[in-house]
Amino acid sequence: MSEPTQLGDRCSSRLAGGRGARNRREPASGAGLSRALHLPEFTSLCPITGQPDFAHFVVDYVPDARIVESKSLKLFFFSFRNHGAFHEDWHADDRQAADRAAAPQWLRIGGYWYPRGGIPIDVFYQTGEPPIGLYLPDPGVAPYRGRG
């Protein structure tokens, strides 16, 4: 059996299984640079019923010396497809993964969940006030109306 790879590089089997996000050196560091990553196809399982849950995640951050590779982040999020947890638990995992992968100067994660039991639940996390002068576009996710 060959060694696992991700994005063409050797990696641990834990990372290949999707439970970590990779980083790389920030190519264009400077004040005012932010990144917005949209993951509109997140799926997981309800921990009570086992039924699928769907969400649109938006990750905004100001990188420090490292940035999160987008494909690595996608693979990390997709690794939860067969895992059950409550919505708030996902955010704890997400922010810990982002801190481990890139240690950003500032981080905001928005999880826009489709209804479970008829109620859409949106969960947000932010590390503090955004840096002064930072342009932050609207996340672009409408309040629930079918979220189409």
Is 53 known to be catalytic? yes
Is 11 known to be catalytic? no
Contact 94, 109 (CB under 8 A): yes
Contact 59, 73 (CB under 8 A): yes
Active-site residue, selected from the candidate residues 9, 11, 53, 89: 53
A 10 A CB-CB count for 140 gives: 11
DSSP 116: B
H or E element in which residue 123 lies: strand 122-126
Active-site residue, selected from the candidate residues 46, 89, 93, 122: 46
User: Active-site residues: which are they?
Assistant: 46, 53
